[in-house]
Amino acid sequence: MVLRAPGRPLEPADLADPVPAAGEVLVRVSACGVCRTDLHIVDGELAEPKLPLVPGHQIVGTVAAGGERFEAGERVGIPWLGETCGRCRYCLSDRENLCDAPAFTGYDRDGGYAELALAVEAYAFPLPGAISDLGTAPLLCAGLIGYRALRMTGDAERLGLYGFGAAAHIVCQVARHQGRRVFAFTRGEDADAQQFARELGAEWAGDARGPAPEELDAAILFAPVGDHVPAALRATAKGGTVVCAGIHMSDIPSFPYDLLWGERSVRSVANLTRRDGEELLALAPAVPVRTHVTEYPLERANDALDDLRAGRLNGSAVLSVS
C-alpha cells in the first residue's frame, strides 16, 4: 500500500521487488503494526516523508535474501530507527536516537505495508521466541517508545498514562511487572478504554480532563494533546517528571510557573536506540507482555488508519500479510 501524497488514502500498488544493497536484508513481511506516527505521516502532520512511500515501521517477517548477520528464514523485526550515521556527536555518545542524519523506516525508507521490505541488517532485531508475528509487531514501536518513556520516569511508583492506546497497553503491563501503580487517563468517558486499562492492571482509570485520584510521581503522555501537559504537571508530585512520548503534539497552552516549580520537569522522548529494543524484547517474555491486537488484511490498511484516528481501537492494529 502506497502513500502518493499526504491527506490522501493509501493506494494498492504493484511494486518491483526491492533488491538488497550491501548490508541490507530483504524481508518477507508477515505482519506490520499500525502506529499513530503512520497516521501523522498520512495526514501530513510530519512534513517530509519520501514520496511515494510504503508506510509501516513495526515489521515482523523472515529474511529472504542478503546480508551477513541473519540466516535465510530467520525471523526478524524492523523498527522505526532504520539507520543512523554512526559519526555525529549523538551517535558517538550512545544517543543514536537523536542522530543528525537518521533514516526512519516507513518515512525516509519504504516500510512494511507490503509483502517485501528492506532493512539495514545492523538495525534489525532477531526475534526468537514464541510470541506470534501479529503479537510481536506492536512491541516494535508502541512497545519500544513506551519502554523508553517508562525508563525516563526513573523509579516513579505512581505512574499516570495519558491516552490508553497501543503504547500504554504495553507499558501498563511492564510497569505493573516492575511493581509500579498505574493510573490511566483516557478520552472523555471512554468506558471501553477505561475497562481495558483496569483489565491490564491499572488501579484507576478515568477522564483525562478531570482530577487525578491521587498525586502521581510521573506521567507519560501518549495522546498527542498539548492540553495534557499542564494537566499532568498539576497531577504530579514535587520532583515528578512528565514525559511526552509522541512524535507530534498539538500546541501546549501557557501555564503558571507554579505547576513546574518544585523540581518538576517536562521532557520528550524521541525515537529509539537499538539498546532499547534489545532490552524490551528480552523483558517482554518475562512479564509476559500480552499485546491486544486487531488484525486487518494488508489491503484494508486505510480502515485500520481510520479506526485508529477515530479512537475505535483497544490495543494495537496490525496488518497481516500473507
Q: Give 96 or 217: the residue with its C-beta nearer to Zn ion.
A: 96
| Residue 260 within binding range of Zn ion, rule CB under 5 A | no
DSSP assigned state of 20: -
42 to each of 8, 35, 96, 255, 308, how far by Cα in Å? 7, 11, 26, 32, 12
Q: Give 41 or 259: the residue with its C-beta nearer to Zn ion.
A: 41
Q: Give 242 or 308: the residue with its C-beta nearer to Zn ion.
A: 308
Are the beta carbons of 128 and 185 closer than 8 angstroms? no
Q: How far is the CB of 106 from Zn ion (least distance, A)?
A: 8
**What character string, x for contact with Zn ion (CB under 5 A) and - otherwise, covers 72-91?**
------------xx--x--x
Ranges of H-type helices in 78-181 = 133-136, 142-151, 166-177
Q: How far is the CB of 294 from Zn ion (least distance, A)?
A: 16
* Strand 293-297 versus strand 204-207 pairing type: unpaired
Q: Give 91 or 170: the residue with its C-beta nearer to Zn ion.
A: 91
Q: Which one of residues 1, 35, 144, 218 is an interface residue with Zn ion (CB under 5 A)?
A: 35
Q: How far is the CB of 38 from Zn ion (least distance, A)?
A: 7
Q: How far is the CB of 158 from Zn ion (least distance, A)?
A: 27
Which of positions 86-125 make contact with Zn ion (CB under 5 A)?
Answer: 88, 91, 99
* CA–CA separation, 277 and 140 (whole Å): 7
Which of positions 152-211 make contact with Zn ion (CB under 5 A)?
Answer: none
* CA–CA separation, 31 and 138 (whole Å): 10
Q: Is 16 exposed, middle or buried (0-12, 13-18, 19+ CB in 10 A)?
A: exposed
Q: Give 91 or 304: the residue with its C-beta nearer to Zn ion.
A: 91
Among 204, 212, 205, residue whose Cα is nearest residue 228: 212
The three grid cell numbers given for residue 103, joined into one nine-digit string: 533514516
Q: How far is the CB of 84 from Zn ion (least distance, A)?
A: 5
Count of residues interacting with Zn ion (CB under 5 A) = 8
Which chain residues interact with Zn ion by CB under 5 A? 35, 37, 84-85, 88, 91, 99, 141
